[in-house]
Amino acid sequence: MAWLIDLAKVIIPMGLLVLVVYILVRQFFQGQIRLKAMEVQRDRKKDTLELKLNAYERLALYLERITFPDMMMRISSAEMEAYTLYTALLMTIQKEFEHNLSQQVYISENLWGIIRLAKQDLANLITEAFAEDEKQTMEEYRNRLIKKYAEWSPNPISMAKSAVRQEAALLL
């Protein structure tokens, strides 16, 4: 019976020691797993931030590219007729929009709606200026567009640019 007590004196402390070592090693590895998960999440957020900022840059560029009179200078030529300029402007706005369509994934639904409305308002302005006199010369149409754009208040393109800057600033 004494040998059983001697055996218990050795086994019980050893068992407790093994249990403590097991718990400590398990906690250490769980901590390492959590640390690695946090690193992966941080890297993912960094990548996402870069993609979002890139989206804001591209949308700001889109809005800049469809701003008058810059768009007029890129598109119009002396040989154009008013109808040709009218369709070229609408096509340019749509192509630029389609080129940046995927950026909506990285921005808020509200901002995407603002950009879509600004695009549509600009297309409406271009159409209204053309519809006022379909027999106008290209120069008359161009001047009418520039005048209407300058008087456009509130300017949806400027408001959309401001919204892009504000939302991008929230990320920084």
Provide the pLDDT for residue 77. Answer: 81
- pLDDT digit string, tens, across residues 21-76: 999 999 999 999 999 888 888 877 777 888 899 999 999 999 999 998 788 888 87
Burial 63-98 (b: 16+ CB within 10 A, else e): beebbbeebbeeebeeebebeebbebbeeebeebbe
Q: Is pLDDT above 90 for 123?
A: yes
Whether the CA torsion 145, 147, 148, 150 is positive or negative: it is positive
Residue 51, C-beta contacts closer than 8 angstroms, at least 6 positions apart:
106
Please give the radius of gyration of the chain, using alpha carbons only, rounded to the nearest integer. 32
Q: Tell me: the pLDDT tens digits for 58-67?
A: 999 999 999 9
∠ CA 152-158-163 to the nearest 5 degrees? Answer: 140
Whether residue 158 contacts residue 122, with contact meaning beta carbons closer than 8 Å, is answered with no
Which ranges constitute the DSSP H helices of 66-155? Answer: 70-75, 82-99, 109-131, 138-151
Task: Give the Cα separation of 120 and 128 in Å (integer).
Answer: 12
Supply the pTM of this predicted model: 0.75
